[in-house]
Amino acid sequence: MLDNPLRRWIRGLGGKKGQPTVLVKELAERDRRRVLKHFLALDGNDRLLRFGSIIPDDQIKVYVAKIDFSRDIVLGVYNGIFQLVGVGHLGFSTSEGRGTTTKERVAEFGVSVSASARGQGVGTRLFQRAAIHCRNSDIDTLYMQCLSSNQTMMHIAKKAGMRIKREHGEADAYLQLPPPSPGSVMAEALEEQFAVIDYTVKANARAAVKWFSPKK
């Protein structure tokens, strides 16, 4: 999957046929309100697939309020009208008790995609960006936990070559990552630069629409 990350990233700029390019940007504190809005818009089934249970709005608000953007990596995809349609949360923990690595840390990844953005490769691109960030951060094991019934995530996991263990209706998958390379570092840096430009253009366009819209 990640043997030639720079070439893969360049090829991915074209997006799926007939679909817009999917650019993944690292989110920050200023995006917290939109992250919350994204999660609150998920219906019961989507919340079940993302969090493992159908959690109410109050719990989602607590979850988003506790996200530490300085510690975790939160990735997002904005659509053409500056709506956050995909969120990936990459958290880190010690590798103690996990025999798959000799590194000090491992990473765990969770992802959600809005109904309006399904079938555009958003989930796959978020996962790829998370994996390449781990690789460049000298983390060689990426875990992804989800329900076995989550066919989209199972497809992403299998496509990435992740090892999958199913137990009690849940799937615990992990991916062994190669060490960083000049290509992987360049791919992540280029995507972030492109995504920042895209973010700025969409944010300015959104602000202009609000500015020129008739006041009620």
Q: For 63-111, what is each residue's pLDDT tens digit?
A: 999 999 999 999 999 998 999 999 999 999 988 877 678 888 999 999 9
Neighbour tally for 31: CB within 10 Å: 20
Mean local confidence (pLDDT), 112-123: 92
Categorise residue 212: left if φ over 0, alpha if ψ from -120 to 50, beta otherwise.
alpha
Mean pLDDT computed over every residue of the chain: 87
Q: How confident is the model at residue 16 (pLDDT cuts 50, 70, 90)?
A: low
Q: Select the highest-mean-pLDDT range: 103-107, 157-161, 165-169.
A: 103-107
Q: How far is CA 49 from CA 43, 52, 154, 169, 171, in A?
A: 10, 6, 11, 12, 11
For residue 39, give the nearest of 28, 50, 27, 24 by alpha carbon: 50
| DSSP designation for 214 | P
Look at residue 40 in the predicted model and tell me its pLDDT: 97
Distance of CA 203 to the CA centre of its chain: 20
Look at residue 1 in the predicted model and tell me its pLDDT: 47
As a three-state string, the secondary structure of 162-206 is: CEEEEECCEEEEEEECCCCCHHHHHHHHHHHHHHHHHHHHHHHHH
Q: Rounded distance, CA 24 to CA 37, Å?
A: 18
Summarised one tens digit per residue, pLDDT across range 176-200 is 999 999 989 999 999 999 999 999 9
Higher pLDDT, 45 or 102: 45
- The answer to whether 88 and 126 have CB atoms below 8 angstroms apart is yes
Look at residue 12 in the predicted model and tell me its pLDDT: 62
Q: How far is CA 184 from CA 39, 122, 201, in A?
A: 30, 20, 26
Summarised one tens digit per residue, pLDDT across range 58-71 is 999 999 999 999 99
Look at residue 20 in the predicted model and tell me its pLDDT: 74
Q: Does position 2 have pLDDT exceeding 60, yes or no?
A: no
Q: Rounded distance, CA 18 to CA 20, Å?
A: 7
Would strands 141-147 and 163-167 be described as parallel, antiparallel, or unpaired?
Answer: unpaired
For residue 120, give the nearest of 41, 202, 187, 24 by alpha carbon: 24
Model-level pTM? 0.86
